A and B are shown apart, each in its own frame.
Chain A
């Protein structure tokens, strides 16, 4: 009898990110369009699963991009690649200004 694997949600997807000389995200390519980063609202490190053969070492950034959309991206510190968990389905009214206060729930992780 066969088996069916689980399908995980929120799998990281690669993202094209232009970084500044300081290594911070400067612009993203979202659905083929270049979106400048208006502000970096937050950033944090996640190190996990260091006890396995596939340790995780990520630098997350919470960004506001043109035209005011919030997106969370991260850089994999092993490969240097950029990824996002965002599946490109953020609601249209999910628009914030760069100087808005942080969400009351704090960091998502």
Chain B
């Protein structure tokens, strides 16, 4: 088995820089999210050269590098970009495992035949990777060696390590690359072991005796014999809907109204396919840049709007500022299983059903905008036009249901 790994170093930083239209060759770092402790995130190489590193307090980072520029993290943009790359790789026939932000790996056994050998696979992979992100490609006989090959490769030159070459390739690499926690790495350092080759030269029983199961795993990796199995994802069937606010909105009732509107659309779309929603990803693009994202997995796949809103609404309380666009993506890979039904139908359900039918008839005759409801937007605003708005009428939230 050969494994191909794609690595885009500093992926989340690069995505945020791209969104902020800032270059990679200036001292720039990711700032803290609104409300988070004031620590620095990833930083560009010029910032690193001036002593800035992730985890520093903002004040200390600015003291070390007065010209340091902070940009807003964009987790939603990163997740979106990651998803795009994963989808493109799956589009060429790969079963992709995402191990971290900016890291993708997959077995190339089947792809070699599909794309006329390893060079053909590399060519095809490079053609679907984003331009200007310095993506690196490594191929090795095992997941660990493949990742290290990608780490050593350059954007222009993919690195292909064969089984015969793997021991020589891994031997000089620093021991910190091994999959061990900080305490065990420190122990190795105290023992004078600094390279992977030195670990590979140890006796297996010694390694197991000193470091246990993790030690055995690291020892196997050091010898190019790691047995990690790839765990490619099942490609979800995403369905997505977006709501663009004419003015940024921070009021929770307005976000709830927009989310309910989107969930209703998504649930209807998924139900038409005979499927159910297994998970939701809520994404908000904020005023002035930046984004917020939250992924929710449903306990039971469903298309019931009440269950979806009960699950999604609490997450919206964590939105960090005024929202320009709200996007909800549903994973429609669930199946509608048999649900227990109630013995006696409450009267309200029948009233809602009848009202809903009436609304549907009015809309079919006069258009979608024929029945609207007012929701509070920013009731505290001094500007009357920012306090209330009309949204499509929703039977299940109407007063007196």
Contact = CB atoms under 8 A, between A and B. Distances in A.
A11 interface: yes
B114 interface: no
A80 B369 CA distance: 34
B246 A8 contact: yes
Given A48-B383, A85-B385, A6 B239 contact: no
A47 B374 CA distance: 26
A59 B385 CA distance: 16
B388 A1 contact: no
B265 interface: yes
B241 A12 contact: no
Contacts of A1: 239-242, 265-266, 269
A11 B269 CA distance: 33
Given A3-B242, A4-B368, A48-B382, A9 B265 contact: no
For the complex, would chain A's binding face be called helix, strand, loop or mixed by DSSP majority?
loop
Nearest to A85: B384
A46 interface: yes
Contacts of B163: none
A8 B249 CA distance: 12
Contact of B261 (A4, A56, A85): A4
Interface in A1-36: 1, 3-12
Contacts of B383: 46, 48-49, 56, 109
Contacts of A12: 385
A79 B52 CA distance: 47
B377 interface: yes
Nearest to A72: B384
Contact of B389 (A7, A46, A49, A108): A7
Contact of A6 (B240, B246, B265, B384): B246
Interface string B239-280: 111111111010000100010010001100100000000000
A7 B258 CA distance: 12
A3 B243 CA distance: 5
A6 B389 contact: yes
B265 A7 contact: no
Contacts of B391: 6-7
A8 B377 contact: yes
A6 B377 contact: yes
Residue of A6, A7, A46, A109 ringed by the most chain B CB atoms within 10 A: A6
Given A1-B240, A3-B243, A9 B389 contact: yes
Nearest to B241: A1
B287 to A, nearest CB: 8
A11 B392 CA distance: 18
**9 closest Cβ pairs, A-B complex:** A10-B384, A6-B389, A9-B388, A7-B390, A1-B241, A109-B382, A85-B384, A10-B385, A8-B389
13 contacts: A1-B239, A3-B241, A3-B242, A3-B243, A4-B243, A5-B246, A6-B249, A6-B390, A8-B385, A9-B387, A10-B384, A46-B383, A108-B384
Interface of B: 239-247, 249, 254, 258, 261, 265-266, 269, 368-369, 372, 374, 377, 381-392
Given A1-B240, A8-B385, 16 more contacts: A1-B242, A1-B265, A3-B241, A4-B243, A5-B246, A6-B245, A6-B258, A6-B389, A8-B377, A9-B385, A10-B384, A10-B385, A10-B387, A56-B383, A85-B385, A109-B384
